[in-house]
Amino acid sequence: MKIIFKIARAELRYLFYSPIAWFVLFLFYVSMVLVYTNTLGNYVLYQEVMLDLNEDWPGFDKGIGTVLAGTVTGLMLKYLYLFIPLLTMGIINREISNGTIKLLYSSPVTTRQIVLGKFFGLMIFNLLLLSIFSIILTSIRMNTQNGEFGWYLSIILGVFLLTSAYSAIGLFISCLTGYQIVAAVITFASFFVLSAISGLWQQYDLVRDITHFLSISGKAEKMMSGLITSRDILYFLLVISMFIGFALIKLQSTQESRKWTANAARYAVLTLIIVVLGYFSSRPGYIAYSDVTKNQVNTLRPEMQELLKSLDGSPLTVTLYTNLLDKNAYAGLPQARNNYIWNVWEPLIRFYPNIEFKYEYYYDVVDGDSSYYRKYPGKSLKEIMAIEAEMYNIRPSIFKAPAEIRKQIDLAPEYMKLVMQVEYKGKKEFLRTYTPPQVWPDQPHFAAILKRLTRDKNVSIHFLTGHYERNIMSLAGREYGYHTTQKSARRALINEGVDADTISLAGNSIPANTNLLVVADPKSDYSAEEKQKLIDYLREGNNAIFYLEPGKQFILAPVLETIGVYPENGMIVSPNEHEMPHIFQNMLTRSGNFLAKEAPMELFQQYGIRGGMVENEGSLNLRYEAIDGFTIEPVITQPGNDKTWIENGVLVVDSAAPVFDAGGGDQKKEEYLIALKLSRKIGNREQRIIVTGDADFMGINRMKVRTIHSAFYSWLLYNRYPVYTNYPLAPDLFLKISSTTAKLITGLYVYIGSGILLLGAIMLLTRRKRK
């Protein structure tokens, strides 16, 4: 070891007396601190402006430390590979071209000691580069409130392993040629190949796994995000070992008179050993994980982990059906399989490794769909498939014909789109994909599928029909299809584990399996028999939600009176210069914000900020009286003021602004009640009811920023659906410094730091030249 460290020290001394090494060090330092200080200054100024405008400004959503560190890390990853070849290009061939390698061979120094000594010298220099980066990360942590620590250490580890791997590669290439410039060019090319190889020949199963292991691209990214895995650490250690081994083989071959086949065999055996070790170290169930972020942002939420624990260990079989003629086909083709496994499914595999993956490729179109035939006039579907396959650079033979796939499975209800079928103990459910760019499902969708596969019976919401209620099969702006049955909608109830269907009370009873009954804006009167069925349903202690609209409240008034809710005549208006008078936004009340755990509502629950918001379009006012054991609380209210009232006259929304007319029956109130929640104990369970004076806020036209999405349904389903997987707010929401301090940091790092570094380089190089 003493000899190895002597060689490392000699190499390090040479680097410090080299203009190239100082150039790399200086360029790296300046580029890093410029990006950091510029970004820091911009965000400090932004924070000061926001706090001046609103002293209750909640801070940076994603965490300011994440933004600053992510910016600097992104730049470093983008350009780091440019610096290393300048350091390694002469590390071995310099000894060869100068003839000093013969002196080393004749001395009591082994080839192994030479290679390891040179490599350790490079690693020590890399630590200097890393120290620059560490100074910036330390500055970020000191200048942010509740800054991360473990995550920053993970970033440093990732950078160190990456630079060490680059150095090992450069060291080997330095053995291959006596020309330093050629070595640098080949090293650049090698880095490029190792970064791009994961995208080459991915359509071939055998090649795909090998190239995925060999590719250096993306191997450090998880550590940069705070997730340390044994797979990534072993990858870097194996790559470093492989290229150091290659260097040993190359240098030993210059001292031995062996046939080239013997050396080729050595390379092949070493490569095979490394690939095999890498393959087995990356198998599901054999990977150790450590999420070092404070909020565990790289780990499934506890709700998801509990669902996976509820499985009994039986295989979870996932079959991916990829239709070449679907717009999302690119995400399901063989060349995207590694991304599908390691980015989409790995978070689940981490906690439940017994997941089997199958793949089916086909081409087909929905019956009656002529879009492809118009795109390719005169072509048959098979010919169209061949053209599309050529565009994706994949052989057409892997795709099953329409007749063949239709015999195997009926995908027409899924509109022939890219879809996964998940099977557990013989039960199968579809897990869907969505509109790009975020094609794959989120944690709530995985949770919904796991619940569907493990529950004894389905959860059903029935919407009344027969009196022109809101349509759950239509995607028109005022209808309810978007948030209920639309399979392509990410937040639709069907994708969150809840089935929605319609039921008419004319000659029918409310099904016994109804978990929730929805009455959404009927436009014609119910018969006495139908009203009685609704009243009986409520008296039996069942859950329901009533969406009312002004001018039609009389239809449901007799039913609602039995639970103490009285819809009033007229429409709430609040004229303003930006919107029609009957359209306004309202925040949920405190009680409303505790209905469910939609993201803005949970922020209110945990931190007292944000909260749910709705946009009402024509609402009536509700009055209530607690009867029959009900507890009633407002969940949506409109504050009263001089410019808000209940309009009882004729309202023309697209003409001149309405004017308050007390003589015409208009009324002003201190507060207007738009939605109420009711609950009472019946036996050993709780009955829950919601009544709203507006039905439009749940239409697609009004479901906008900070909408409540499924919050009402969640409360009425006892918060079992959907499964919310929100992460806590980032701990580092604020910067602790002022813009003045930021300027001082800029001066210290950019000018003084650069000057000290440049002065040190000049002094050492001048001293070297004098000697």
pLDDT digits (tens, 9 = 90+) for 374-384: 999 999 999 99
Give the 3-state DSSP-derived string for 195-232, with helices as H, strands as E and coil as C.
Answer: HHHHHCCCCCHHHHHHHHHHCCCCCCHHHHCCEEEHHH
pTM of the model: 0.91
Identify the band that residue 102 occupies on the pLDDT scale cut at 50, 70 and 90: low
Q: Give which of 340, 339, 353 is closest to 287, Cα–Cα.
A: 353
Identify the band that residue 108 occupies on the pLDDT scale cut at 50, 70 and 90: low
pLDDT of 253:
80
Identify the band that residue 256 occupies on the pLDDT scale cut at 50, 70 and 90: low
Residues whose CB falls within 8 Å of the CB of residue 565, separated by 6 or more in sequence, listed in order: 622, 623, 624, 632, 676, 678, 691
278 against 739, higher pLDDT: 739
Residue 382 is classified by DSSP as H
* 3-state SS assignment for residue 577: coil
pLDDT above 70 coverage of the chain, percent: 95
Identify the band that residue 311 occupies on the pLDDT scale cut at 50, 70 and 90: very high
Phi and psi angles of residue 191, each rounded to the nearest 5 degrees, phi first:
-60, -40
What is the average per-residue pLDDT within 93-112? 67
Residue 254 has pLDDT above 70, yes or no: yes
pLDDT of 489:
94
Most confident of 164-173, 348-357, 647-656: 348-357
pLDDT of 339:
86
What is the average per-residue pLDDT within 112-124? 87
115 against 329, higher pLDDT: 329
What the block records as the tokens of 663 is 């003589």
Residue 186 has pLDDT above 80, yes or no: yes
According to DSSP, the β-strands at 355-362 and 583-587 are unpaired
pLDDT of 526:
96
* 3-state SS assignment for residue 184: helix
Identify the band that residue 99 occupies on the pLDDT scale cut at 50, 70 and 90: low
pLDDT of 771:
58
pLDDT of 281:
83
pLDDT of 195:
75
Average predicted confidence (pLDDT) for the chain: 90
Q: Give which of 338, 333, 337, 327 is closest to 399, Cα–Cα.
A: 333
Identify the band that residue 98 occupies on the pLDDT scale cut at 50, 70 and 90: low
Most confident of 118-122, 646-650, 694-698: 694-698
Residue 769 has pLDDT above 80, yes or no: no
pLDDT of 202:
57
Residue 69 has pLDDT above 70, yes or no: yes
What is the average per-residue pLDDT within 212-216? 74
Residue 105 has pLDDT above 70, yes or no: no
CA distance linking residue 519 with residue 489, whole number of Å: 22
What is the average per-residue pLDDT within 194-210? 64
Distances in Å between the Cα of 625 and the Cα atoms of 542, 591, 630, 631 are: 20, 18, 9, 9
pLDDT of 705:
60
Residue 399 has pLDDT above 90, yes or no: yes
CA distance linking residue 569 with residue 550, whole number of Å: 7
pLDDT of 97:
65
Alpha helices per DSSP H over 392-424: 402-408
Q: Give which of 599, 724, 735, 732 is closest to 294, Cα–Cα.
A: 732
pLDDT of 634:
98
pLDDT of 375:
93
360 against 209, higher pLDDT: 360
Residue 203 has pLDDT above 60, yes or no: no
Q: Which amino acid, one-letter code, is at 547?
A: Y
What is the average per-residue pLDDT within 512-539? 96
Q: Name which of 100-104, 406-410, 444-448, 708-712 the model is least confident about.
A: 100-104
| Structural contact between residues 742 and 144, judged by C-beta atoms closer than 8 angstroms | no
pLDDT of 128:
87
Name the region of 95 (left: φ>0; alpha: ψ -120 to 50; beta: rest): alpha
Phi and psi angles of residue 323, each rounded to the nearest 5 degrees, phi first:
-95, 115
Q: Name which of 18-22, 449-453, 665-669, 723-727 the model is least confident about.
A: 18-22
Identify the band that residue 7 occupies on the pLDDT scale cut at 50, 70 and 90: confident
What is the average per-residue pLDDT within 54-76? 87
Q: Which amino acid, one-letter code, is at 739?
A: S
Most confident of 79-83, 105-109, 204-208, 545-549: 545-549
Give the other-Cβ count within 10 Å of 623's Cβ.
12
Residue 704 has pLDDT above 80, yes or no: no
355 against 19, higher pLDDT: 355
What is the average per-residue pLDDT within 401-425? 96
